[in-house]
């Protein structure tokens, strides 16, 4: 029995040591922890520098986070570059594509924003966020026939979503579909009492 106890004790020591080592944060993890703390204190440059200490061009997570931090620091060109690197590393990453929309929107690159929403919808056809904001882009460009399809999709999936309902109502009105628009404006009023946008829409319908 004594001869069996020694290997068991050695195994216990080995696994205990391994467990202890596993609990020690790596330099990579520590860089993230420090960057989170700096971000909380709105020290974005410091947060960026912490990650640059362990930066690797093929690291999706660091590129994604650097995209966010540079956006917060209003370094939109750098933010876009890091997000695009993240997209290249993981082409099916929806979070990276939503991320790059931020610096693109901040610099009014609306055609590129539109492209990202289209790419997201290729990956996830029922993504309501991408559908809604792509609809808004078409609406602002007075491309109502394209906007209406997107807003209808979102409202069919989320009938009680006020933002989509009111945008669909205005789109229908601009398409001359007053009866449908009236129903939607009244539905918006059910969702949001005395809503100014819905009331203004109803005033335009005779």
d(CA 173, CA 156): 18
Strand, helix or coil at 158?
A: coil
The DSSP letter of residue 54 is: T
d(CA 57, CA 159): 43
pLDDT at 11: 47
Could you tell me the pTM of the whole model?
A: 0.85
Taking only the tens of pLDDT, the chain with its 206 residues reads 444 454 554 445 444 444 444 567 799 999 999 999 999 999 999 999 999 999 999 999 999 999 999 999 999 999 999 999 999 999 999 999 999 999 999 999 999 999 999 999 999 999 999 999 999 999 999 999 999 999 999 999 999 999 999 999 999 999 999 999 999 999 999 999 999 999 999 999 97
182, with CB counted inside 10 A (0-12, 13-18, 19+), is: middle
The DSSP letter of residue 126 is: T
pLDDT at 169: 98
Q: What is the DSSP string of 1-17?
A: -HHHHHHHHHHHHHHHH
Which domains does the chain carry? 26-109 (1.25.40.10), 126-206 (1.25.40.10)
Residues 6+ apart with CB under 8 A from 97: 87, 116, 119, 120
Over its C-alpha atoms, the chain yields an Rg (Å, rounded) of 25
d(CA 116, CA 132): 13
> Cβ(146)–Cβ(174) under 8 Å?
no
Strand, helix or coil at 128?
A: helix
């Amino acid at each position: 029995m004594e001869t069996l106890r020694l290997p068991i004790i050695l195994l216990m020591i080995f696994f205990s040591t391994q467990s202890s080592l596993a609990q020690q944060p790596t330099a990579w993890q520590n860089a993230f922890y420090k960057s989170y703390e700096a971000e909380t204190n709105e020290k974005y440059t410091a947060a960026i520098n912490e990650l640059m200490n362990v930066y690797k061009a093929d690291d999706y997570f660091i590129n994604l986070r650097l995209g966010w931090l540079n956006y917060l620091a209003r370094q939109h060109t750098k933010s876009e570059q890091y997000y695009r690197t993240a997209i290249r590393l993981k082409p099916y990453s929806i979070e990276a594509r939503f991320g790059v929309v931020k610096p693109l929107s901040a610099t009014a690159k609306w055609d590129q924003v539109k492209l990202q929403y289209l790419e997201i919808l290729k990956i996830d056809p029922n993504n309501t966020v991408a559908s809604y904001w792509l609809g808004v882009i078409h609406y602002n460009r007075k491309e109502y026939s394209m906007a209406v399809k997107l807003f209808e999709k979102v409202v069919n999936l989320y009938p009680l979503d006020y933002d989509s309902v009111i945008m669909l109502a205005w789109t229908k009105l601009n398409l001359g579909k007053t009866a449908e628009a009236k129903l939607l404006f009244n539905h918006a009023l059910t969702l949001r009492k005395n809503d100014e946008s819905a009331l203004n829409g109803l005033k335009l319908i005779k």
